[in-house]
Each structure stands twice: as structure tokens, then as C-alpha cells.
């Protein structure tokens, strides 16, 4: 009984480190037994955001999507991406193996974009800009640290504020987290940053991680569906998971990790409306350049081999429409069809 009371006090102390309400997406980087890396992610949201998959080729003419003053660029890399409400790229992997995942962050403050004097970019285009332009985490950190644009964040189609932080990973296992807090860009760059969730801000997530490492997951782990608790459980499970050499076992391990911290459909907290069900899960196999997708509304997993997509310059954008919640299994690159790209979130 004394031990239980002790761990109960520890849990209460840990939860007191942060105070927040947020949906609880998770992103992690898993190292396989062959030294390659796999990125796992869950999308947790209060409703189905109508995600489709897209194949965007090299050579696409792009702009920030917010009208006059928008930044413009031409994509250097092709990518497979997941859309969000058909107004944003929320994650993806490019042909160089760079993986980008954007997760909601309540504390986000991009500042006054129009007063910055910089070229503008919609928050919906932020992730795509990175996938289009960079091959490695280090390259992206170097370029984005110079703040070449200011982010405009209109309200999302469901009425929620469009605030998020961006995580990157590449074939070397490098990792970076980008957050805008109080109008300032904060970058955390280190391969050891293998887990990220929504709130709290990443510096507080690191404090949580250090605290719980002293306790040990075999003794006690926090168990709610809030972001901080799921962050702690993911950290522990990721460190405990074996580094599988067999490709199938490595992917199965990554899926087991993300499922272990997923929230069942229909689960919600009326007092904290952003705590929500897991709508879908993805696994980005950087070594094999293969993107796996699992919808909570479907009993199957499918994947896309990037090398089988038409991503060279001159190819047309292509879409895998998931609006009807189709049951797809196996490799699905042949199911993409030509389509006009969605427009990034704007006022």
C-alpha cells in the first residue's frame, strides 16, 4: 500500500508539471535492427477531417496560398502526402526520404504575419513547403532558421484555430521540432528527440520525459488519454521495443507502438473537447521509402511505394480519394488518379 501511495504521489506531481487541454496525436521515430528508421504517427481529432492521399511531383509551381505577398517556389522533390480538410498538407514523405508530421499545438502563436514584412505562407502549406524543398533535417533547419516567411493561420473549416508544430525526420535518424511561441520560432534539433505529442510545448515534454525516466515504466505509467500521459507511455514503449531486423516485424512493431497509445472511436471528453478519437495512423518507412496508412474506419492496412509513383518533373498531381472510406489492402500506388491539387487554407 505504501508503494501504491508513493507512485500515486509521483503521478500527481508529474501531472502538475503541465496544465493543458489538447487532442493527442503522437509522432515517434523507431530505429530498426538494420539501422534504418521508421516514423509512426496517429491523427486524433474531434471529427473525420476528410483525409485523402496525394502524390505531388517535382517541378510544381507553388505559392503560399494567401494571395498578395505569398511566397512562391518550385518543388525540388516529389512527395506522397496526407491532406487535412482538403486545405492543408498535414504530413508526408518526399522522394529523398524526408518525413514531415504536423501535430496540433494549442499554445501556438505565429505572431502578426502581415506586420512582419516577410513573404507569407498559409499554415496549410507549411508542411508541403518543407517536403518540396529539402532532402534532410539539417538542410531544413538551416533554411527555416532564417525564417524566410511568416505563417498566416486562418480558422480551420470546423471552426478550430489552425495552430500546430512541425516535426521532421530523415534517413540518418535526425530529428527536429519547429514551434511558434509568442510569435517567435523555436527549433529543437537533435536525433534524441524521438517522440512528440500535441501540448504541452516541446520543452515541457522533455521535462516530463526526464522525470518519468527516473521512475521506470515497469513500476508505474500514467494512463489517461491526455497528451502528456500518452507522451510518457510512448517514450517508455519505444525504448522497450526490440529493434527488429526483419522488415515485416519492424513495421509490425511500429504499428503496435502507435496502436498502444491510440484512442478508440467514440471517445471524447466534454470538459476538454480537443481530446478526441484516433481517426487514422500512418507509418513512414524511410529506408524503403514506403508510406503505410491505416484508417480507424477500415479493417485493413495499405501502403504506397514512393518509387512506384510518378513523381518526376512533368508528371501530374494524383489523388487517392478516401472520402468513401474504401477498404484498400496491400500496395496502392496504382489506385491514385490525376486530380487538381487542393488549395491551401486561406481567409
Distance CA 221, CA 253 (A): 20
| 16 close to 263: Cβ distance less than 8 angstroms | no
Query: What does the block give as the cell for 21?
Result: 487541454
| C-alpha dist (Å) from residue 237 to 160, 205, 208 | 31, 16, 15
Question: Does the annotation mark 233 as catalytic?
Answer: no
Whether 171 contacts 37, CB under 8 Å: yes
Cβ neighbours around 314 below 10 Å, total: 8
Let me know if 7 is exposed, middle or buried by CB neighbors in 10 A (0-12, 13-18, 19+): middle
Is the Cβ–Cβ distance between 123 and 162 less than 8 Å?
yes
The one catalytic residue in 11, 14, 24, 25 is 25
Is 49 within 8 Å of 279 (Cβ atoms)?
yes
Q: Report the C-alpha gap between 55 and 339 in whole angstroms.
A: 10
In this structure, the strands spanning 175-181 and 318-320 are: unpaired
Spatial contact of 77 and 343, defined as CB atoms under 8 Å apart:
no
**What gap in Å lies between CA 24 and CA 279, rounded to an integer?**
11
How far CA 12 is from CA of 15, 104, 229, 314, in Å, comes to 5, 25, 11, 57
* Residues designated catalytic: 25
Amino acid at each position: 500500500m505504501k508503494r501504491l501511495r508513493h507512485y500515486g504521489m509521483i503521478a500527481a506531481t508529474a501531472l502538475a508539471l503541465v496544465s493543458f487541454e489538447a487532442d493527442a496525436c503522437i509522432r515517434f521515430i523507431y530505429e530498426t535492427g538494420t539501422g534504418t528508421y521508421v516514423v509512426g504517427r496517429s491523427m486524433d481529432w474531434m471529427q473525420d477531417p476528410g483525409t485523402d492521399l496525394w502524390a505531388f511531383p517535382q517541378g510544381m509551381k507553388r505559392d503560399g496560398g494567401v494571395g498578395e505577398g505569398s511566397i512562391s517556389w518550385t518543388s525540388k522533390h516529389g512527395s506522397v502526402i496526407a491532406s487535412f480538410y482538403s486545405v492543408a498538407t498535414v504530413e508526408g514523405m518526399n522522394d529523398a526520404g524526408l518525413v514531415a508530421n504536423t501535430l496540433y499545438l494549442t499554445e501556438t502563436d505565429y505572431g502578426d504575419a502581415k506586420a512582419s514584412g516577410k513573404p507569407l505562407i498559409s499554415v496549410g502549406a507549411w508542411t508541403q513547403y518543407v517536403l518540396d524543398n529539402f532532402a534532410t533535417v539539417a538542410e531544413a533547419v538551416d533554411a527555416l532558421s532564417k525564417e524566410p516567411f511568416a505563417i498566416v493561420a486562418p480558422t480551420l473549416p470546423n471552426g478550430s484555430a489552425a495552430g500546430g508544430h512541425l516535426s521532421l525526420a530523415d534517413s540518418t535518424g535526425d530529428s527536429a521540432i519547429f514551434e511558434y511561441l509568442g510569435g517567435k520560432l523555436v527549433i529543437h534539433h537533435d536525433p534524441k528527440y524521438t517522440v512528440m505529442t500535441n501540448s504541452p510545448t516541446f520543452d515541457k515534454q522533455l521535462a516530463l520525459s526526464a522525470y518519468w525516466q527516473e521512475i521506470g515504466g515497469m513500476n508505474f505509467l500514467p494512463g489517461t488519454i491526455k497528451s502528456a500521459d500518452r507522451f510518457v507511455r510512448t517514450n517508455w514503449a519505444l525504448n522497450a521495443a526490440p529493434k527488429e531486423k526483419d522488415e515485416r516485424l519492424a513495421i509490425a512493431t511500429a504499428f503496435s507502438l502507435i496502436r498502444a497509445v491510440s484512442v478508440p472511436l467514440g471517445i471524447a471528453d466534454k470538459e476538454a473537447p480537443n481530446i478526441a478519437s484516433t481517426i487514422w495512423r500512418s507509418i513512414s518507412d524511410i529506408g524503403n521509402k514506403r508510406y503505410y496508412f491505416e484508417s480507424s474506419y477500415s479493417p485493413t492496412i495499405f501502403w504506397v511505394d514512393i518509387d512506384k509513383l510518378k513523381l518526376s518533373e512533368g508528371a501530374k498531381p494524383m489523388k487517392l480519394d478516401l472520402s468513401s472510406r474504401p477498404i484498400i489492402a496491400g500496395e496502392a500506388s496504382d489506385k491514385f488518379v490525376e486530380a487538381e491539387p487542393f488549395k491551401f487554407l486561406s481567409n
